[in-house]
């Protein structure tokens, strides 16, 4: 399914601790749009019956069935940097990605490209 690096898991734990909400999990999803056809998204959420729930290093990650198709085998990492830091997703299902890494085209060619706010 999807994996978190130790750095990403630590950052998620830190963010959840700031929210003081142990009932929430990190939802990672794919939505139509972006300059390559699909965009990644992340949000705090509670699990639903349809979600795949992955637990790693004390962090729960939720993925809905449609997104699971495009995120199978993906890895989420976190990098600290003065510019351009944050969460990144390495996705083996992506044929091409946007320069900012927030948008991708699937290997099966599904998804229609749209203008995105990153300027690519």
Q: Write the pLDDT tens digit of every residue in 85-97.
A: 789 888 887 765 6
Into how many domains does the chain fold? Answer: 1
Kindly report the CATH number assigned to the domain that includes residue 36.
Answer: 2.60.300.12
59 in Cβ contact with 4 (< 8 Å): yes
Check: pTM over 0.85? Answer yes or no.
no
In whole angstroms, what separates CA 90 from the centre of its chain?
9
Q: Report the relative pairing of strands 86-90 and 59-63 from DSSP bridges.
A: unpaired
**Other Cβ atoms within 10 Å of 85 Cβ, number:** 10
In sequence order, what DSSP letters do the residues of 25-94 get, joined into one string? EEEEEEEE-STTSEEEEEEEE---TT-EEEEETTEEEEE-HHHHHHHTT-EEEEE--SSS-EEEEE-TTE
32 part of a folded domain:
yes
Domain around 54: 3-102
Q: Write the pLDDT tens digit of every residue in 36-74.
A: 567 889 999 999 999 999 999 899 999 999 999 889 999
Q: Write the pLDDT tens digit of every residue in 15-36.
A: 999 999 888 999 999 887 766 5
């Amino acid at each position: 399914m999807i994996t978190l690096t130790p750095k990403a898991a630590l950052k998620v734990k830190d963010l959840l601790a700031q929210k003081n909400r142990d009932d929430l999990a990190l939802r990672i999803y794919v939505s139509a749009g972006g300059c390559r056809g699909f965009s990644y998204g992340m949000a705090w959420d509670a699990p639903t019956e349809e979600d795949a729930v992955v637990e790693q290093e004390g962090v729960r990650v939720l993925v809905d069935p449609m997104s699971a198709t495009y995120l199978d085998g993906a890895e989420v990492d976190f990098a600290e940097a003065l510019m351009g830091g944050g969460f990144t997703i390495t996705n083996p299902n992506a044929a091409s990605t946007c320069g900012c890494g927030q948008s991708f085209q699937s290997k099966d060619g599904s998804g229609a490209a749209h203008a995105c706010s990153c300027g690519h």
